[in-house]
Amino acid sequence: GPHHRVGLLSEREVATQVYGLSGRRAERPDATFTDVFARVARRVPDAVAVRHRDRAWTYGELDGRADRLAGALLDAGLGPGETVGVAAERGFDWAVAVLAVWKAGGVYLPACADVPAGRAAAALAASGCGLVLADERNDAWARRIAAGRRVLPVEDGRRGTVGGGGAPADRRVPARPRDAAYLYLTSGSSGRPKVAVCEHAGLLNHLYAKVEDMGLAGEGAGAVVAQTASQGFDISLWQLTAPLLVGGSTRIVDAEVLRDVDAFVTEIVAGGVTVAQVVPSYLEVLLTRLEQEPRTLGALRSLSVTGEPLRQELVRRWFALFPGIPLVNAYGATEVSDDTMHEVLTRPPETGFVPVGRPLPNVHVYVLDEHLALLPLGAPGEIIFSGVCVGRGYLNDEERTRQAFVPDPFRPGARMYRTGDFGRWLPDGRLEFLGRRDEQVRLRGFRIELGEIENRLLAVPGVREAAVVIDRAASAHPRLVAFHTGQPGAAAPGAEELRAELSAEVPAYMVPASFHRLDRLPLTGNGKVDKRLLTRLAGPL
């Protein structure tokens, strides 16, 4: 059976792995975001909900406009649980559109021009979406991808009651916590995109965890979250909505501002931003600039880093500049309602690498072997999530849904999501991230986690970044190739030194065949290290 090994594990080990050592339990959200938002909007109608450039909109304005637009969606024939594509620039209209879709009982699908047209059109078609909401700037784009579907202007919410059909609250069928809330395109490894479906309960559970772990709870109207991610990225959703649970505001930061880190810092300070989130590559750029020219970060009280492994070196540099501002390493995946684990750091960890932390409330994390059996504490295995975070699967894709979303042997009736990531529990109940399943190799029968080698390389003084790839092209025997960058202004360790350092830490079969220093590691569009490109580079080396 799938848990045949449980008998070999101590009760503590089983409990740890099924619940996480943190034991953080919270009530499972029995509401939707819009339920909670409606209460907040009634309580603080005049508080600022959204800021963009030099404009501000109150909860009353946001709520009113979203109500009217929801009415327009219902007039246009939107039925409960039907998908609405939203093609609007990041700004107030976008916020109105997202809220209106939910108020009308619909499912949000980002369809902004950040997503390639072919993929957006495919997602609309796959979702059975019948309606697209577009702002003026995206109208032509929306018509192009809509392929005959009705395109409704977001501006409809600006006029009075549309269609005279009465307030939407009277007509809509309210979404329930277990209903779908949004759809996201994720890239499949085969290149064929998947459309992940997430539920309201998973969304709200994640939002509450962000509120708690990023210190938004006590801030009320003072809570200001920087909305920096494009709509094509699921993290854009919590940045938009989490502050609206506590009476705070979301501050939409334009892409042009983000491209210039000085301008970004200025906006953080001038906008009174208290909470922000970046990917590690952006943190690196930010730190390099602030090390050259120190500045304060105004009201910032918490910075989250997400999307790929957070290097210890960045954490050290952060606390050297900002010892009083916690860093939150946020780990998760689109399929499980965004982040499922947080590591709240108040100083650099002593482990030599940065753990991904502990499970969020109502999230269960397992580390399992290839038969989905629990492993002893500390053994590397696949990271698997269960609980309220687990989404519905991939739209119209039973086969890939069945592969990734499997029955949870420890919680009858529940489904769990196989991340394809590898990790291991640390003795204190935190999780170490060890890389992707497709980065797992067997060399001469030994199973190797590339992330483990990278973590050890990063612990070598003078190494700033490290990426290890498998070169299968060179010969019949796959070999490991390491790339690294050095600390600015310091002598970078040479290949011999790295080989010697690693040999002292890991078995010989885990020591790469060659080491190559680069000025910087290549990045993908999302700011993640481009391993595919590195693998291609490794061949001829």
* Distance (Å) of CA 413 to CA 26, 83, 246, 407: 20, 27, 34, 7
394 DSSP β-pair partners: 196
- 157 vs 309 by CB, closer to ligand ADP: 309
Q: Which of 236, 306, 440, 455 binds ligand ADP (CB under 6 A)?
A: 306
DSSP string, 509-537: GGS-SEEEE-SS--B-TTS-B-HHHHHHH
- 435 vs 493 by CB, closer to ligand ADP: 435
- Residue 281 binds to ligand ADP (criterion: CB under 6 A): no
- Residue 329 binds to ligand ADP (criterion: CB under 6 A): yes
Question: What's the rounded Cα separation, in Å, for the pair 39 and 45?
Answer: 10
Question: What's the rounded Cα separation, in Å, for the pair 497 and 460?
Answer: 9
Q: Which of 47, 245, 327, 333 binds ligand ADP (CB under 6 A)?
A: 333
- Residue 340 binds to ligand ADP (criterion: CB under 6 A): no
- Residue 312 binds to ligand ADP (criterion: CB under 6 A): no
Q: Which of 130, 307, 326, 380 binds ligand ADP (CB under 6 A)?
A: 307
Indicate the residue type of 520: R
CB of residue 419 vs ligand ADP: minimum separation in angstroms? 5
- Nearest alpha-carbon partner for 234 in 189, 281, 194: 194
Question: What's the rounded Cα separation, in Å, for the pair 313 and 348?
Answer: 9
Per CB under 6 A, which region of 24-32, 307-315, 439-447, 500-508 contacts ligand ADP? 307-315
DSSP string, 396-454: T-HHHHHHHEEE-TTSTT-EEEEEEEEEEE-TTS-EEEEEEGGGEEEETTEEEEHHHHH
- Residue 67 binds to ligand ADP (criterion: CB under 6 A): no
- Residue 236 binds to ligand ADP (criterion: CB under 6 A): no
Residue pair 117/87 in contact by the 8 Å Cβ criterion: no
Per CB under 6 A, which region of 30-38, 302-310, 391-399, 508-516 contacts ligand ADP? 302-310
- Residue 89 binds to ligand ADP (criterion: CB under 6 A): no
Size of the site for ligand ADP (CB under 6 A): 20
- 36 vs 287 by CB, closer to ligand ADP: 287
Per CB under 6 A, which region of 59-67, 327-335, 391-399, 442-450 contacts ligand ADP? 327-335
Sequence-separated (6 or more) residues with CB below 8 Å from residue 293 = none
- Residue 330 binds to ligand ADP (criterion: CB under 6 A): yes
Q: Which of 13, 308, 369, 530 binds ligand ADP (CB under 6 A)?
A: 308
- Residue 185 binds to ligand ADP (criterion: CB under 6 A): no
Sequence-separated (6 or more) residues with CB below 8 Å from residue 441 = 447, 448, 450, 470, 478, 480
Length, in residues, of the chain: 541
Sequence-separated (6 or more) residues with CB below 8 Å from residue 499 = 511, 512, 515
Question: What's the rounded Cα separation, in Å, for the pair 62 and 284?
Answer: 35
- 362 vs 419 by CB, closer to ligand ADP: 419
Per CB under 6 A, which region of 49-57, 329-337, 461-469, 515-523 contacts ligand ADP? 329-337
Residue 17: Cβ within 10 Å count: 24
Indicate the residue type of 36: V
- 356 vs 480 by CB, closer to ligand ADP: 356
- Residue 234 binds to ligand ADP (criterion: CB under 6 A): yes
Per CB under 6 A, which region of 111-119, 161-169, 238-246, 304-312 contacts ligand ADP? 304-312
Token representation of residue 456: 């050890």
Residue pair 406/415 in contact by the 8 Å Cβ criterion: yes
Per CB under 6 A, which region of 125-133, 227-235, 290-298, 479-487 contacts ligand ADP? 227-235
Q: Which of 97, 133, 235, 390 binds ligand ADP (CB under 6 A)?
A: 235
Per CB under 6 A, which region of 58-66, 79-87, 203-211, 231-239 contacts ligand ADP? 231-239
- Residue 171 binds to ligand ADP (criterion: CB under 6 A): no
Ranges within 349-368 binding ligand ADP (CB under 6 A): 356
- 70 vs 225 by CB, closer to ligand ADP: 225
How would you classify residue 77: left for phi > 0, otherwise alpha for psi between -120 and 50, otherwise beta? left
- Residue 437 binds to ligand ADP (criterion: CB under 6 A): no
Token representation of residue 539: 């061949």
Per CB under 6 A, which region of 94-102, 291-299, 323-331, 511-519 contacts ligand ADP? 323-331
- 233 vs 405 by CB, closer to ligand ADP: 233
Ranges within 376-435 binding ligand ADP (CB under 6 A): 419, 421, 433
Per CB under 6 A, which region of 20-28, 229-237, 242-250, 500-508 contacts ligand ADP? 229-237
Radius of gyration of the chain (CA): 24
- Residue 334 binds to ligand ADP (criterion: CB under 6 A): yes
CB of residue 307 vs ligand ADP: minimum separation in angstroms? 4
Question: What's the rounded Cα separation, in Å, for the pair 263 and 504?
Answer: 45
- Residue 201 binds to ligand ADP (criterion: CB under 6 A): no
- Nearest alpha-carbon partner for 14 in 412, 483, 364: 364
Distance of CA 119 to the CA centre of its chain: 20
> If DSSP states are collapsed to H, E and C, what string results for 458-505?
HCCCCEEEEEEEEECCCCCCCEEEEEEEECCCCCCCCHHHHHHHHHHH
- 249 vs 304 by CB, closer to ligand ADP: 304
Which residues of this protein are in contact with ligand ADP, per CB under 6 A? 186, 233-235, 306-310, 329-334, 356, 419, 421, 433, 436
